[in-house]
Amino acid sequence: MPASERPETIDAPDAVDAPLARLGWTPFFEAQLEGFSSSIPDFSAAAQPTRVTAVHRNTLRVIGVDVDLTIPHAFEATVGDWLMLDPQTKTACARLERSSLIKRKAAGRITYTQSIAANIDTVFVVSSCNADFNVARLERYVALAFEADTTPVIILTKADLSDDPDGYVAQAQTISDRVAVLALDVRNTDPSDALAPWVQLGQTIAFLGSSGVGKSTLVNALSGQIKAATQGIRDDDAKGRHTTTHRELHQLPNGCAVLDTPGMRELQLTDAASGIKDVFADLIEIAAQCKFSDCAHQSEPKCAIKAGIADGSVDPARVERWQKLQDEDAHNSEAASQTVAHRKARDKSLGKTIKGLQKGNRKK
Ligand SMILES: Nc1nc2c(ncn2[C@@H]2O[C@H](COP(=O)(O)OP(=O)(O)OP(=O)(O)O)[C@@H](O)[C@H]2O)c(=O)[nH]1
Ligand SMILES: [Mg+2]
Ligand SMILES: [Zn+2]
């Protein structure tokens, strides 16, 4: 891995409260505390920072210094968020600004955006050297991570099961020259050294990928103990059994926070235009040479992308995947904003109806 791909600076843990640093607290959050008490109504001066480690149907689990509580939902918090906890009421009185937010189109018919995690520094995009491996899927995850302002790293597990792990690595390396790619045999080798550049005190890392690729196995290997259940995959198609069922933030002995997530069945992007641009930066650079600035690279004259395909310097399959992701993202972003607009309009008209009823009642 080139040195340039390693994280340059790790927030100095001694600049902030050490026990909080072990939960991922950095100067970015510390700086937000000043001025809170005056600017936020209902803010308790005794409020203390706590991190959301799990989101349940009706509650959040928050952990802080000498705090481990279940509290009601607040501020649309997601896993990884920092909430200021009022020790008296045991409720959240503020959510800190996020350093990053990973979101996707929620699975299902109605289009809305689902937050997956906040305040993640590094996203380990996990796939395995078997039938799960798929460049198009990896590109999606990498776009998601770029869009969220995190650093993506591709991890290819089960190197022990492949005759040619280097072949998988080479394919994954074609995705982006900004993304480090590692092949690991997590069964027989401790991954701590290979992942050490990212797995540091005060950092927060997240494992994302399909079911059965070995995310929880990695979490357990890094912690040196069983934090999460793991289970064998199906023999016929190498698919996992959805062993992890909810997102949970764990603490590693070295003070790195690590998020284990359930395998995603499908990952649809929404509002990810800039993340997609980051992944396909090479094609965007070439497309800048097309005669027309809005060239669709189909039948336009003097199209640099088509010229690249013709001379073999551009992979037509990659162009197709780029266009497909762009279209999907545009479609989902539009549909999601319509859903929000529809909800707002519905809430407004419902509000009017209620007000009308209240008026009617008062007249009676
Ligand atoms: N041979 C081999 N098996 C591995 C490796 N990493 C994980 N496994 C196995 O893969 C299976 C699935 O691993 P899990 O860690 O449960 O996978 P997961 O990604 O957490 O799956 P979900 O929780 O369903 O999303 C388990 O049987 C692991 O022992 C590896 O590097 N080599
Ligand atoms: Mg798991
Ligand atoms: Zn073109």
| pLDDT at residue 15 is higher than 50 | no
pLDDT of residue 4: 43
pLDDT of residue 332: 86
Cα–ligand 1 centroid distance for 269 (angstroms): 25
Q: Which carries the bigger pLDDT value, residue 341 or residue 92?
A: 92
| Confidence band of 225 (pLDDT split at 50, 70, 90) | confident
Decide whether any atom of ligand 1 lies within 6 Å of the 165 Cβ.
no
- As a whole number, mean pLDDT of residues 223-246 equals 88
- As a whole number, mean pLDDT of residues 319-323 equals 96
Taking CA atoms only, the protein residue closest to ligand 1 atom 30 is: 158
The values of phi and psi at residue 33, to 5°, are -70, -35
> Who surrounds ion ligand 2 at CB < 5 A?
215-216, 243-244
- As a whole number, mean pLDDT of residues 43-68 equals 92
Domains of the chain, by residue range, sit at 17-95, 101-260, 273-340
Evaluate whether 213 touches 263 at the Cβ level (below 8 Å). Answer: yes
Which numbered atom of ligand 1 lies nearest the CA of 230?
Answer: 16
| Confidence band of 17 (pLDDT split at 50, 70, 90) | low
Decide whether any atom of ligand 1 lies within 6 Å of the 238 Cβ.
no
Taking CA atoms only, the protein residue closest to ligand 1 atom 10 is: 214
Which class for 341: exposed (0-12), middle (13-18), buried (19 or more C-beta within 10 A)? exposed
Q: Looking at domain 273-340, which of 3.20.20.70, 1.10.40.50, 1.10.3720.10, 3.40.50.1820 is its CATH number?
A: 1.10.40.50
- Which stretch, 4-18, 257-271, 310-324, has highest mean pLDDT? 310-324
> Between helices 135-147 and 165-173, what is the axis angle to 10°?
50
What fold characterizes domain 101-260?
Rossmann fold (3.40.50)
158 in a labelled binding site: yes
| Confidence band of 9 (pLDDT split at 50, 70, 90) | very low
Cα–ligand 2 centroid distance for 292 (angstroms): 47
Domains 17-95 and 101-260 share a fold: no
Mutate to test the pocket of ligand 1, among 185, 218, 226, 231 (most ligand atoms within 8 A of CB): 231
User: With respect to CATH, is domain 17-95 assigned 2.30.30.140?
Assistant: yes
The Cα-based distances of 189 to 158, 162, 203, 217, 301 in angstroms read: 11, 15, 23, 12, 54
| pLDDT at residue 11 is higher than 60 | no
Taking CA atoms only, the protein residue closest to ligand 1 atom 1 is: 158
Decide whether any atom of ligand 1 lies within 6 Å of the 217 Cβ.
yes
